Each structure stands twice: as structure tokens, then as C-alpha cells.
A and B are shown apart, each in its own frame.
Chain A
Amino acid sequence: MSANGDARGIVLVADDDEDIRALVAYRLASGGFEIVSARNGEEALQLAAERRPDLAILDVMMPRVDGLEVTRRLRADPRTERVPVILLTASVQEADVARGFEAGADDYLRKPFSPQELGMRVQAILARR
């Protein structure tokens, strides 16, 4: 399934905050994943189409195309419709969480999150597949 035989899988990380992208990358790279980073929604969609990631971690609040819209478009594209999506959200509102699941997300984490917890969720989701 993976495009890269050496890694345990490709994870797409999209967040406009460079530090957070790096944080996720550090954590997941140590778990043996190949990380593909995007600075915004557009890039994320482009990379998703190019690299066919095994999982996408998307920040909800991103410039240009937000995480919810990226999720929806991933789901609409037959090439990426089965890619699991974990949303990262800074929102405290329950409604936003609901909207995330409506868009097609598999899981969500509220910021600030524990990188360790994120790693475990990624493993759990991939293990189910």
C-alpha cells in the first residue's frame, strides 16, 4: 500500500504553523513514518494527489482552503477518498467538531495536543486498516 517500501507509511501533515508541522514530523518520523508537509490547504490537496499518503493530519484553520474543505475534496476524489483524516482544531466549540466529522474526518485532536497521543492515534487508525 505504501509508496515507500522503507517507511511504515506516508503521513501528510498540513498546518500553516511551521513549528507544529515540525513537531508532528519529529514525533511521527521517530515512529518510522515518512512525512509530507503542506503549508496550506491547496498544497495539501496537491501533495495528496501526488504522493497518495496513507493518512492526512490537517489543521482546520488554514489559509486559502481550510481543513474541512480539504477533507471534503479528499473524499470527493476517488484517488484519495479512502485516506484517513485526523483534524487538528483550536476551536473549543462542539459544533466545529461535528462539522469535522460531517466533512468526513476519522478523528480529531484539540490543540494543544500531546504529540505522543497523536502518534498513538495515528498508529491506531492505521492498524485498523
Chain B
Amino acid sequence: MLRRSRSLTSRIAAASLLLGFVVVLAFALLASSIQSLRGATRAARRSGLIVAAADRLEKLAVDMETGERGFLIARDDLFLEPYEAAIARYPADVRALEQLVASQPEQHARVLRIARALRAYQLHWAAPVIALARVNPRAAIAREAGEGGKRRVDAIRTQFAQFIARENELSAKHTSDSNREGLNALILGVLCAIGSALLIVIYAGYLLRLVVAPVRRVAEAARRRTHGDLSARVAENGVGEVAVLAHNFNSMADTLQANQDNLAFDNAKLEAVLNATLDGILMTDADGNILFSNRKMDQLWKQMGLRDEGTIWDRMLRLAQRTTTPDAYFDLFAELAANPDKEIEADFTLADDGRSFIGYTAPVQHKGQARVGRIFAVREVTEERAVQRLKDEFVATVSHELRTPLTSIVGYVELLFDQQLSGALNETQQEFVDVIGRNAERLQRLVADLLFFAQVEAERLTLEYTQVDLVALVERARASAHPVAQNRGVSLECNCAGSAEIEADESRIAQLVDNLVSNALKFTPAGGCVRLGVQADDGLAAIEVRDDGIGIPEAEVERLFQRFFRASSAVAEEIPGTGLGLAIAKTIVDAHGGSIDVSSSPGKGTTVCVRLPVERVRTNGADRVTHSGVGA
């Protein structure tokens, strides 16, 4: 998918190098062409100089001859002056010409020949003739008339003519060369310019196709993506980095789409959950504008007949006016206004139809910092409240309806025993009244036990925590059970060393210990022994009640904590009881966050061990006693 083998950089570098090379090459050609043009031009100019120099030298030769001949005719030294001047000048002119043609061997040879001929003419002809003329003018003129001198000069001039013709020929060639080279340079220059321009255009096109077009495609796709086109993708057919860019853009778009899909899915899930909950849930921004409201909240709002417009505070004010306690609500608003980060839970009841609700509101924080809004939840608790009321009424009614007759029974039995008030009873009457009293007491305990559970059921039993001295408490339990133990012929011992303080509800722990002690006494036959022990270490306090009574079959130990369960041994021995004592004990222990264990073997005895935390266990149950674990 990715063509990384030839990256964009290397391609552009290669193309740039190629372009540079071609342009340099073109200009090198142009330069060399101009160089040869200059060479040709220089050669042509030198040819001109050579021809001029040759003309000057030829003129000197002519001057020599003319001077010599003038002297012969006139015999005046004045006519010898051009001759003398030419003799003096010509060697230097020959050297100058020699230098000019130094690079041309053929012409150089000609110059040397001309120089030799000039020298020969001067030494072997002109000088002897002049010397003769001074002595014998006639002989000299006769010798001159023999045409020897003219012939020699003519031969020299012919050589000059050849030399000049040759040089002119060369000059013409150089000029034509120069012209040709000039044209060549011009054509090459134009070609180079056109070629370079063309190459640059091609190069720009290449870059455009390679970089700009793909980048523009990515930019366009990015623009579409920004405007919400989730399907915006680009072809990944570019080169190197451009392909990587396209690929990365597509990956990013894929990731974004996946994230968006996930987010949409999460939102759908959240919305489904929120709509499925039985609580009304609503969220606002920091100004109280409603951002979200679930189906239940909309329903509740509609059922209450309240207009669902305005901010949450407008709505809350309308709602507050419909409750039985609007002022309490206004106080809550004031509290919220003063302390916007507060979490508030409050009950309210609608004045017109008596429906009850729990409202809850808490700030919503973003990334643990700024408050971005509030969440409001409302739960209808009309039925729960009704059930609660029924349970409360049940407890109250049962209490009243059972305890009132019991009060009469117990009270009148007591009056019967008051001889001053009711006169003396005979023995049989006394016995009967005893039976009534005993059973009234039993009934009283049963009612108390039943009400204990009725209260637990109604969640109306709460723990009043204080520091409790367990040793003292167990000692008191022993003391109050002492008469019963004595009656049954059972020894009751307390083996409590030191002190053991715990945080607990003293009256409930006392109830627990009384239950355990009276149980142990009931199941221990005369002559037996019940031992109480208290220990505290490592955050736990233990109360142990050990008897050597009839015991319980192992299989039944687990069911001991069920309400109304009675051990088979207890039933067999006809030991009275309701089967609620241990269930109550377990409920109390559980409410304190402790544990209760029973180990027993039939015929040998039973040991009940209660472990309670020394420090109060904080639970979210507001110290309410529930019957979790009871009967399990």
C-alpha cells in the first residue's frame, strides 16, 4: 500500500539535479560556442594586422628600390634617404611580422623567405650598386639597366603577393568561421533558453502532480470531514511522503469515524439506560438550561401538570409551589445559591395528590475541576412511603393491641398477690395465678420478640452507639440471670478479665447477651454449668457463652439462626421457647458488623461465640437494623 521505496524527497532531489544538469550543460555548450566565436573573430582581426604589416614591409622593399634607383639617376644623397630609412626599419618589421605569424608555420616560412630575399637584395644588389655609383655612375646605371635589381624586387613583391593572398584567404576563412560561430551561438542560446524554460515547466508540472495535487486532495477531504462528511477519504496512490500523508489522513478519518461510532453507540446505550431507569434524571448546564431529560422525568413533569419550559430553576419554583412545604424548598434553593457545589437530597410531597418523591441534586464536574452543570434525579416513593406507613401502623397497632391486654393480665395477677388489696389466696388459687403469671410473662417475651422483628422489617430499629464496657455488661447479665440459674441448679460463672470497651448500642448488646445467657440456662440441666467470657484484642471483642447442656445436632447448627427454628433436642426435652432468640441475636450482631458462631455436640454442650468490632463499622444504612442474613 505504501510506496516508501522512492520517497518524495529523493524524487524531487533527482528531478532537481537532472534539471540543473541539463541547464548547466546547455549553458556550457553556449559558452563554448561563444568562446569559439571569439577565437574566430580574433583570428580574423589578426589576419588584418598581418596583411597591414606585410604591406608596410613590402612598401619598405619598394622604398629601397626606389631610393636606390633615384640615387643612381640623380646622384644625390637626398634620394638615398628612403633607402636608408627602409634599411634601418625592415629588420624590426620582419620580426614583428614573424611574431604575428608565429602560430602559422606556412606563413612563417614565407616571412623567413621574404626576409632572406630582402637581405640578399640589400647586401648583394643594392649596396654594391650604390657603392659602384659613387665611383662609376655610368657602370652603375648600366648595371641597373640590366634589370637585375628590378627583377629581384619583383620576385620579392611576388612573394609578398603570395603571402598576402594566402593571408587574405585565411582572413576570409576566419571571418566566415566567425559568422558561422556567431549564428551557432545565437541558435544555441535560443535553444538553451527555450529548452530550460520547457524543462522548468515540466519540472513544475511534475511537482504539481507529485505534491500539490495530492496535498490539495487531502485538504479538500479534511474540509469535507470538518463539515461532517464521515466518508471523506483520499486515494493513497501518491508517492512517498504524499502517500504517507494520504494514508495517515485516511487512518485518522477511520479512527475518528470509529470513535464517533463508539461515542454514538455509548450515547445510545446511555440513553437507553437512562430511559429505562425508573428515576427521573435531568441534567443542566451551569446556568440551569436543560441539557438532557430522560423519559421518566418528562413523564413525571407531565403528570404533575407543570409547564416544561424555562431553566431548571423556573421549573423548580413551579414545583416547589405545588409541594406541601414550599418554604422548605425555598430554603433549599437559598442554600444551593449560597453553595453551588452542594449535594442535596430532599423529600417532598405534592399537596394536591399526596404523591411523595425523593429529589437529589449534585454538581457535575468536568475533569474534576470546574462545575459544568448539575444533575437532578427524582424518584417517586409514594408506594414505599405507603408501605412504610403500613408497617409502622402494624408495629404500633400490634404493640398497642397486644400490650394493652397483657398489661391488664400482668397487672391484675400482681394485684392478686397483694394480700392487702385482694385478700389471701388458698394454695390452689395461688398455683393457678402462678400459671397465669408465668404464661403472661412468656406471652410478653414473645410479643417483644415479634415486635423486634416487626421493627426490623419496618426499618425502624436504629442503633444508638455509645462506648460500652462489655465486661461490666456481661457481669450485669450474669447478675440478673443469677436467680434463674440458682432456681435451675445451674452454676453461672463469669470469666472476664480486664476491660473490653466497644462502640455499640448498649441496650441491644444487653438484649443479645441476655438472650444467649437465658438460652444457655434453658438448655443446661441441673448440676450443669454456664460460663461467660469476654476477650478483646486486635480490634475485635469476643463474648463467649459456653454451657455443658444437651447440645444441638451438628446438622441443625446452621438453621439455628432462622426465625422460629427450634432444635430437635429442645423440642424433645420439652424446653419452652419461641425459636426467636438466636435470630434476634444474629440480627443485632449483624447490625454491629460482627459475627456469631455456634459450635455444639449433643450431650456435651454448646458454645456461642460473638465477635464485635471495637470501633463502629460505618455503613450506608444509617445504623438501621435490617434482617440481612437472618434465616439465610
Contact = CB atoms under 8 A, between A and B. Distances in A.
B261 interface: no
B414 interface: yes
B411 A23 contact: yes
A57 to B, nearest CB: 13
Interface in A95-129: 110-116
A20 B404 contact: yes
In this complex, which of B399, B410, B412 has the most chain A Cβ atoms within 10 angstroms of its Cβ? B399
Given A91-B396, A91-B399, A111-B404, A20 B448 contact: no
A27 B415 contact: yes
B414 A114 contact: yes
B407 A113 contact: yes
Nearest to B399: A90
B404 A90 contact: yes
B406 A112 contact: yes
B464 A23 contact: no
B505 to A, nearest CB: 10
Interface in A3-57: 17, 19-20, 23, 26-27, 30
Contacts of B606: none
A92 interface: yes
A20 B444 CA distance: 16
B186 to A, nearest CB: 120
A93 B403 CA distance: 14
A92 B462 CA distance: 12
B315 to A, nearest CB: 35
A77 interface: no
Interface string B214-258: 000000000000000000000000000000000000000000000
B420 interface: yes
A76 B250 CA distance: 85
Contacts of B382: none
B421 interface: yes
A65 interface: no
A116 B414 contact: yes
Contact of B400 (A27, A90, A113): A90
B451 A112 contact: no
B176 interface: no
Interface residues of A, number: 20
Nearest to A30: B421
Contact of B408 (A20, A27, A90, A91): A20
B460 interface: yes
Contact of A26 (B395, B415, B440, B448): B415
Given A92-B451, A116-B414, A23 B420 contact: no
Nearest to B461: A93
Nearest to A18: B408
Grouping DSSP codes into helix (H, G, I), strand (E, B) and loop, the A interface class, with mixed when no group exceeds half, is: loop
A27 B417 CA distance: 12
Nearest to A59: B404
B361 interface: no
A20 B414 CA distance: 13
A114 B411 contact: yes
Contacts of A94: 462, 464
A59 B455 CA distance: 21
Given A23-B415, A61-B396, A116-B414, A111 B406 contact: yes
A111 B421 contact: no
Interface in B510-544: none
In this complex, which of A26, A61, A91, A93 has the most chain B Cβ atoms within 10 angstroms of its Cβ? A93
A90 B414 CA distance: 19
B455 A92 contact: yes
B407 A23 contact: yes
A43 B39 CA distance: 150
A7 B420 CA distance: 18
Interface in B61-100: none
In this complex, which of B403, B407, B418, B448 has the most chain A Cβ atoms within 10 angstroms of its Cβ? B407
Interface in A72-95: 90-94
B460 A93 contact: yes
Given A23-B408, A61-B396, A92-B451, A115 B403 contact: no
B438 to A, nearest CB: 14
Contacts of B451: 92
B411 A113 contact: yes
B127 to A, nearest CB: 169
Nearest to B462: A94
A17 B403 CA distance: 11
Contact of A111 (B407, B415, B460): B407
Contacts of A27: 411, 415, 421
Contacts of A114: 410-411, 414
Nearest to B505: A94
A91 B448 CA distance: 10
Given A26-B421, A30-B420, A30-B421, A92 B395 contact: yes
A112 B415 contact: no
A111 B464 CA distance: 22
Given A20-B404, A20-B411, A112 B444 contact: yes
Nearest to A118: B411
Contacts of B455: 92-93
A115 B415 contact: yes
Contacts of A61: 396, 400
Interface string B376-418: 0000000000000000000110011001101111111011001
A116 B418 CA distance: 10
In this complex, which of B411, B420, B462 has the most chain A Cβ atoms within 10 angstroms of its Cβ? B411
Nearest to A109: B407
23 contacts: A17-B408, A19-B412, A20-B404, A20-B407, A20-B411, A23-B407, A23-B411, A26-B415, A27-B411, A27-B415, A27-B421, A30-B418, A90-B407, A91-B396, A91-B399, A92-B448, A92-B452, A92-B455, A93-B395, A111-B403, A111-B406, A114-B410, A116-B418
Given A27-B421, A30-B421, 20 more contacts: A19-B412, A26-B415, A26-B421, A27-B415, A61-B400, A90-B400, A90-B407, A92-B399, A92-B451, A93-B460, A94-B462, A111-B403, A111-B406, A111-B407, A112-B403, A113-B410, A114-B410, A115-B411, A115-B414, A116-B418
The 6 closest A-B pairs by CB, nearest first: A112-B407, A90-B403, A19-B408, A111-B403, A23-B411, A111-B407
Interface of B: 395-396, 399-400, 403-404, 406-412, 414-415, 418, 420-421, 440, 444, 448, 451-452, 455, 460, 462, 464
Interface of A: 17, 19-20, 23, 26-27, 30, 61, 90-94, 110-116
